[in-house]
Structure 1
Amino acid sequence: MRNEHSFTFAGETLVALPSGALWWPEASLLCVSDMHLGKSERMARRGGALLPPYEVRDTLRRLQADLETLDPAAVISLGDAFDDMEAATALDADARDRIAAMIEGRDWTWVTGNHDPAPVAFGGHAAEGLTCGPLSFVHIATRTGRHEVSGHYHPKASLSLRGRHVSRPCFLRDATRLILPAYGTYTGGLRSRDRALSGLMAPDARAILAGQPMVEIPMPR
C-alpha cells in the first residue's frame, strides 16, 4: 500500500501525497503548489545566503516521480513555480528539458503567483485561477472561497510521533477550503498556529502532515 491519505472535499475523493502534491483520481489531475524553483540562484543573485544549488534538481525529481506513478492527464501548478522570473530564465538546459518533457501531452496550467507570472515559455497555459467541477484553484485563499484549493502559505504542523517531536509541511482542510503545503525543496513553512492561518481556517479544521508516515490531526492552534 502506498503511503498516502485519502479524504473527501466538496463531495470528491482527493488524495494527499507524501511529496506534498494533491491527487484527484476522478479528474486524473495532479496539483502542486509553491515549487519556488531557482531559490538558491535568486538568493545568491541578491546577496543572500549561499545555498547548495541542487533544489531545482531535487524538486523536479520528486515531481517526475509523482507524474510517473500517477500519469495524470492534467496538472495544475498552483502559483510560485519559480522564486522569481529571473530564476526561471537562469535554469540550465537539463532542467528546462525536463520541465518541457513533463508538460508534453498533458493539460498543464500555471496559476499565477505572487512571486512569478505564469512561465508559459516552458509550455502549458496561464490562468489567474480556474474551476474544475466543484473545485476552484487559486494561489492565495480568499475569505469568501467555496471549495477552494490554494497554496501560498506553506503551512506546517507539529506533533509527537513515536516519542519524537515532528514538524512537517502539511495540508490544511475544512469544509470549504484546502491549503496545500509548499512542494519546493528549499521552501520554508508557516506554522498552523500563526494568526494568518488560524484566522483563516474553520475551528474544526484538520492538518494532514506530509512525509512518512502521513498523519491527520486536528489543526494545531
Structure 2
Amino acid sequence: MLEAPNRRPARFITFEGGEGVGKSTQVRRLLNNLGREGIDVVRTREPGGTPKAEAIRSFILQGRSEVWGAGAEAVLFAAARLDHVTQLIAPNLTKGTWVISDRFCDSTRAYQGLTGGVDDRLINALEDLALDGHNPDLTILLDMDPETAFRRVEQRTIEDGLQLTGDRFEKEELEWHKVLRANFLDIARNNPDRCVVISAEQSEEALESAIWSLITSRFPELQGRSLA
C-alpha cells in the first residue's frame, strides 16, 4: 500500500492582549503574509468563528450576561469555544490548514479568571472541556499600556468619523484594564514555551516585522523567509 505523502504540519496561532492593542490588524497582516508563502490559512476570532459562537459573542458583548457575573460569562465563553474548536479549528488543522485566532482561551483566564475572580478550578475544567487537546502552538501577546491603547482607539474613532462606544469590557475603568494587562503578562510568564510577549507600542509595520521574525524563527518550514 502506498504511503500518504508527507504533509507540512498545520499550526495553530493565537493573538492575545487588552483592548485596543491592534490584534485584529496584526492577525490580518499575518494572514496575508502566510498566504503569500503558499500557506493555507484561515482567520477566526473569539468569542465567535461559528454561527453559534457568534450568537454567544453578541449576547456577551452587548452586556446582557453581565448581571450573571464572571462565572456565568466564563461558562458562556467555554460553550462558544467548544463549538468553535469542534466545528472550525479542529477540522482545519486536521486537513493541514493553519488557524490564526484573534483571542482564545487565555482571554477567558485573564478576563473572567484572574481579573474577574472566577476560581481556577472552574477555568481549568472549562478549558479542558472546550479545547479537547487543541492547544495553540504559539500565542502572541501584544502588550501596551492601557492609557496608550485607549488614546489610539479614540484617535482612530475620530479619524473615521465614528462615535466612541465601548462594548461590555471596553467600558470598564482604566484601573481594571491595568490589572487585566498584568494578568495577561502573568499568563505569559507561566507559559514561556507557548507565549511570546511583543510590545505593541510601535508602528503597525514594525510590529508586523517583529511578528514575522518570530514566526519564521519558530516554525522550520518558514525559516529564511523575509517580508516582501
User: Which of the two has greater helix per residue?
Assistant: 2
TM-score (norm 2): 0.30
Q: Which has the higher contact order (CA 8 A, sep 6+)?
A: 2
TM-score by length of 1: 0.30
**Higher radius of gyration, 1 or 2:** 2
Structure having the larger proportion of residues in strand = 1
